[in-house]
Structure 1
Amino acid sequence: MLTLTGDTDGTTLTITANGDIDLSNNRRLAATVAEHESADLATIVLDLAGVDFCDSAGLAAMVRLYRAAALAHRSLVIRAPSENVTRLLEITGLDRVFTIEPASA
Structure 2
Amino acid sequence: MSENLSEWLAPYRVKNGALFDKDPRKRIVKIVRLSDVTWKRNALRHSFGSYRMEQTKNEGQVAREMGNSPKVAKDHYFEIVDEKAAHDYWPIKPIPPQDGKIVAIAGRK
TM-score (norm 2): 0.25
- Structure having the higher strand fraction is 1
TM-score (norm 1): 0.25
- Structure having the higher helix fraction is 2
